Amino acid sequence: MSSRLTQKQDLRSRKIQLSLIKEPRPDTKLWWVEKQHQYGGSLDYRKVKRPFDTSKLIHTVFKARLGKNIWFTKSQISIGKLLESAAKRYKLKIRDKAINKDHIHLLIEPSRSQPYNEARREFLRFLRFFAAQMARKYDEIHKRLGLRKSKQFWIERPFTRLVGWGRSTLTNIHNYFEKNRNEAAGFVSYTPRKHRLNAFLVKWQAQAQKLENTC
């Protein structure tokens, strides 16, 4: 009887603790990380961990600051090989990719055979390894061509967004990757994106600037 009472008390205590946890306010950087599972890039919010889930795919974007007439699209084969070896090294699968002039889109499937913490570590190691190898590769290209390179190769930290396995979700993201490939190849004209996150960041930056001017 006493053990049942103890279990009920524990359950009641957990419910009280959960009720004290505040949900992030909508349209804040924390909300985009915790509720929309997006991280890095222009979002630039480092107070919490990068979202990760072994049951989800991960849309990852690397964006660089390249020199004049130096484009990723000119090295698609070597970049593809680097991605393959990095994915194998860290037990990931590249489900789709789009290599654009100054940025790269990847659709990554993390390992499901490993424990969660280990799979997460391997994914983060992949991000760091690929970023470092690409920076080294393009440092050599700049030197070989006698071109000046920017102090910081990558503009921002890699952007990641968790993606479900639903049929419509997969269709949409594969279509988005195909659109990027067609734009990079010059088959279609580039069209500005109208992502909700971009709209939020423009509004947030305007508010931050306004606040700074009033101080």
- 54 burial (CB, 10 Å; 0-12 / 13-18 / 19+) is middle
Name the CATH architecture for the domain at 50-192: 2-Layer Sandwich (3.30)
Mean pLDDT, the chain, rounded, equals: 86
| Domain boundaries of the chain, sorted by first residue | 50-192
User: 8 versus 213: which is more confidently predicted?
Assistant: 213
| pLDDT tens digits for range 18-40 | 444 456 677 788 887 888 888 98
Element (H, E) at 165: none
% of the chain with per-residue pLDDT over 70: 83
| pLDDT tens digits for range 75-125 | 999 999 999 999 999 999 999 999 999 999 999 999 999 999 999 999 999
Alpha helix positions (H), 21-157 = 29-34, 76-89, 116-145
- 98 burial (CB, 10 Å; 0-12 / 13-18 / 19+) is buried
The answer to whether residue 153 scores a pLDDT higher than 90 is: yes
The answer to whether residue 200 scores a pLDDT higher than 80 is: no
Token pair of 156 as six digits: 């921002």
